[in-house]
Amino acid sequence: MGRIVHEIEVEGRKLKAAFGTGSLRSYMLSKFRPPNTRRASPVRVGLGGRTVLLEDRCDLTAKIDGLEFDL
């Protein structure tokens, strides 16, 4: 499965995003997370060949070419 790299906009900030075609979730570094995102409960995921507990998890809306989508 391939990855698509595209520029997205999150709260006015332009970021490069890699989209995995077979991924169930999307991930971003916490330093890029907007402060007003809705927090969700922690989840345990397989990431990079190991199991990781993501305690800091949120839903957010981003844009590609002016079109909104949820992460």
Alpha-carbon distance of 35 to 23, in angstroms, equals 25
**Which residues, in sequence order, are bridge partners of residue 59?**
38
Tell me the whole-structure pTM to 2 decimals.
0.59
Query: For the chain, how many structural domains are there in total?
Result: 1
**Residue 11: domain span:** 3-70
User: Residue type for 58, please?
Assistant: C
pLDDT in tens, 14-34: 988 887 777 777 777 778 777
Half-sphere exposure of 35 (CA within 13 A, CB side): 0
For 33-71, how does the pLDDT look when each residue is reduced to its tens digit (9 = 90+)? 777 777 778 889 888 889 989 877 777 788 988 889 887
Cα–Cα nearest to 41, from 58, 29, 23? 58
